[in-house]
Amino acid sequence: MASLFTEQFSFSKGDSAVVIGLGRFGSSVADALTRLGHDVMGIDRDPELVQVWADMLTHAVQADSTNVNTMRQLGVADFSHAIIGIGSDLSASLMTLMALTELGIKDIWIKALTPEHGKIARRIGAHHVVSPEADMGERVAHLITARMMDFIEFDDGFAIAKIRAPESTHNQVLFDSRVREKFGVTVVGVKRAQTDFQHAVPETRILPDDLLIVSGPTRKIQQFANDTERKKDK
């Protein structure tokens, strides 16, 4: 889930982020952001977790994130983004959120333990609410029920997916297959075995074993991905 988070909501190169709570979710996000080239401060109450991540993050600090003065002294207000990944203490999660809003952080993400937690967090000031278990469950369901190989859905029902080229596109250029007209989705790019990824244009020819990157409404992408299966059923 952490890799999906960083793929779907990528920050500008060189942005700084503070990750509060270095459990499974928080540490995965912190590690992914670090590998993408961002400066990351990790904060946790547990000294053992801080010690584990001390050499892997830009900074790792043992501190009480619910204390706004402590956070101010750590320079948290200077970070571009804050991610609250506290895993089991709802009170600590919300108090940390209040501290971050008081510091004026412009972009605050929070891991929601429950739907109610997420609603309260938005009211307090969270800009983004992440529900890892629910989001992953929905993503897996889409992968199972459609011929998708990977899938990312945004809040407004728009999605990007990687699928195998449906039969209706085989051995045709995109202009002739009229994918957008028939299915309401856009083929963004094509990946062919042993060749580099190429951005799709109307003259791009699709071969049977090609992988397509497509974008559009989730429901329409599912219909497009399942086009081959419907043909087989006839």
Strand partners, 162: 150, 213
Closest CA to 125 of 159, 100, 151, 156: 100
Q: Encoding tokens for residue 132?
A: 């890892």
Decide: 99 and 66 in contact? Cβ < 8 Å. yes
Q: Encoding tokens for residue 100?
A: 């971050």
> Could you tell me which residues come within 8 angstroms of residue 144 by beta carbon, excluding any fewer than 6 positions away?
none
The one-letter amino acid at 190: V
Confidence of residue 232 (pLDDT cuts 50, 70, 90): very low
The one-letter amino acid at 208: P
Query: Does 186 score more than 50 pLDDT?
Result: yes
Query: Does 8 score more than 50 pLDDT?
Result: no
How much is the average pLDDT of 217-229?
80
> Could you tell me which residues come within 8 angstroms of residue 169 by beta carbon, excluding any fewer than 6 positions away?
177, 179, 187, 206, 212
For the entire predicted model, the pTM comes to: 0.63
Query: Does 214 score more than 50 pLDDT?
Result: yes
How much is the average pLDDT of 30-57?
91
- Mean pLDDT estimate for the chain: 84
Model pLDDT for residues 110-123, shown as the tens digit of each residue: 998 888 999 999 99
